Chain A
Amino acid sequence: MSDRVSPLAEVHNAAGAQFTDFAGWQMPVRYSSDLAEHRAVREAAGLFDLSHMGEIVLVGDEAAAALDYAVSGRMSALKPGQAKYTLLLNAEGGVIDDLIVYRTGEDRYLVVANASNAEAVAEALHERAEGFATQVFDESDDVALIAVQGPNALEILFAVEGFAIEGGHPDGEDVPETLRELRYYRAVAGLFREHPVLFARTGYTGEDGFELFCAPDFAKELWETIAEVGAPFGLLPAGLAARDTLRLEAGMPLYGHELDATTFPVQAGLGRVVDLGKPGDFVGRAASEQGPGADARVLVGLTGDGRRAARADYAVFTEDGTSEIGVVTSGALSPTLGVPVAMAYVDPAYREPGTAVTVEVRGTKHPYTVTVLPFYKRKSN
């Protein structure tokens, strides 16, 4: 496997990061402590390098129509500057990847894919765009992605000098107002010291925050500037370990855990993301209309007592421990809540919140309770 490195690798090394192999990339798993980084995002802010993620751009008169056919949501309904969470389905209605699609212009879309699926997504979009007046470019190697997440994210970006909004005031006087008013799942084009930056109010942590797309050449300058400006606001660089516990608390699915090629979105609680009401065909429509069988397992939240966490692939049993009724897809001791939390697929008879179940944790069955997702929701939501 080739070890691809982020344009920020040097910066991470200097910050003392430990690295992990993630989808063929060497990415920081932590800089100091998973818990400290997790708490920084919940209480102040965290800085993430997401340069491993895939960016695929569709440009052309029929880019909207091509995407309407290619993915599960109605991308033509987005106005420029809007973004939407959507799914790339296979013909069987399973999930090839979950995506965020930004409409960055009338005839231009930016599709953000998971690192592990970036090539498959680019390939599928190329195939599905055939016959439409659009071009598909895999720009993953030409885009760096930096996320600032947490309650202080906005204040930190205000304090960065050198930002400007495209078409706005050249000195960036309008940056604070524009960013403050930018709604969740909206993006606005801008500049950082003459270099293009897309400011997107999106994230994967359950907190307010921004994701900044830029060219790899000056990602280092942008990262170092934000890190320095953000430090007095409590900003810490945060690795993949914190990102995983944050997204788990926020009940957000992770491809390969909660989503895969054999699982219908409706099983993961993502039925609303498959827009059966949109006109025209799309890949996976027929299978989605049919849906999984009535006995298909459904995704639930689980919370336990004590400190011993249920983890991915552990079996879920009935309360008395006699019958296996499901499997854990992600689990950890929640740093924010202090109790074990997990997401699991269970037989539909056990989906009701409050249902008592057990999870076999390395040989011993521990009591868990079915819980509504997400486990954590920020107060200002």
Chain B
Amino acid sequence: MAAPQNLKYTEEHEWVLVDGDVATVGITDYAQAALGDVVFVDLPAEGTAVAAAAVVGEIESTKSVGELFAPIDGEVVEANQAVVDSPDLVNSDPYGAGWLIKVRFTQLPELLDAAAYDELTSK
């Protein structure tokens, strides 16, 4: 699946949807496919301060453990309880119902656009 055009991306395979000063963060289709069936998701609580590139959560599949990196500095305003209850949403709808956290940020770092991300994952 090509990366959706309306999103920004990190090299750690997160996607970011910016709406005002809140960024919704999830992992990409490429990342969920590499992980395999996601069976456990651990997300930071609402109010947690996060720093770009820091590990803020875990995404476990049957085979391995993936780390969730915060793509930006800010504060978690919402964690997706639906994926905590049904981790397979990360596999079935990574860009939709499988979103992970919403972060209120002050400054947006430089992120990849869809073309650059597709380039990164086609190597």
Contact = CB atoms under 8 A, between A and B. Distances in A.
Interface of A: 18, 29-30, 33-35, 38, 241, 244-245, 307-309, 311, 332-333, 335, 362
B40 A333 contact: yes
The 4 nearest A-B residue pairs measured at CB: A34-B62, A307-B40, A35-B37, A34-B37
Contact of B36 (A241, A308, A362): A241
Interface string B31-70: 0011011011010000000000000001011110100000
Contact of A333 (B33, B34, B60): B60
A18 B60 CA distance: 18
Nearest to A311: B65
A308 B60 contact: yes
B33 A18 contact: yes
A333 B42 contact: no
B63 A241 contact: yes
A87 B104 CA distance: 58
A362 B63 CA distance: 16
A332 B60 CA distance: 10
Nearest to B41: A307
Contacts of A307: 39-40, 60, 87
Nearest to A18: B33
B93 to A, nearest CB: 14
Given A307-B39, A307-B87, A362-B58, 13 more contacts: A18-B33, A18-B34, A29-B36, A29-B63, A33-B36, A35-B37, A35-B39, A38-B62, A241-B36, A244-B63, A309-B40, A333-B39, A333-B60
B34 to A, nearest CB: 8
Contacts of B42: 308
Given A308-B40, A308-B42, A332 B33 contact: no
A343 to B, nearest CB: 16
Given A307-B39, A307-B40, A245 B62 contact: yes
Nearest to A33: B37
22 contacts: A18-B34, A33-B37, A33-B91, A34-B36, A34-B61, A34-B62, A35-B39, A35-B62, A241-B36, A241-B63, A245-B62, A307-B39, A307-B60, A307-B87, A308-B40, A308-B42, A309-B60, A311-B65, A332-B63, A333-B39, A333-B62, A362-B65
Contacts of B40: 307-309, 333
A309 B59 CA distance: 11
A321 to B, nearest CB: 20
A332 B64 CA distance: 9
A38 B36 CA distance: 13
Contacts of B34: 18
Contacts of B91: 33
A171 B111 CA distance: 66
A333 B87 CA distance: 13
Contacts of B61: 34
Given A30-B36, A308-B42, A332 B62 contact: yes
B26 to A, nearest CB: 19
B45 to A, nearest CB: 15
A245 B37 CA distance: 12
Nearest to B84: A307
A332 B58 CA distance: 15
A245 B63 CA distance: 8
A38 B37 CA distance: 11
B5 to A, nearest CB: 25
A335 B62 contact: yes
Contacts of B36: 29-30, 33-34, 241
A29 B62 CA distance: 12
A34 B63 contact: yes
A309 B91 CA distance: 19
B108 to A, nearest CB: 30
A30 B62 CA distance: 11
Contacts of A309: 39-40, 60
A76 B32 CA distance: 50
A309 B63 CA distance: 10
Nearest to B35: A34
A35 B88 CA distance: 11
Contacts of A245: 62
A333 B41 CA distance: 13
A319 B40 CA distance: 24
A34 B36 CA distance: 7
A26 to B, nearest CB: 16
Contacts of B58: 362
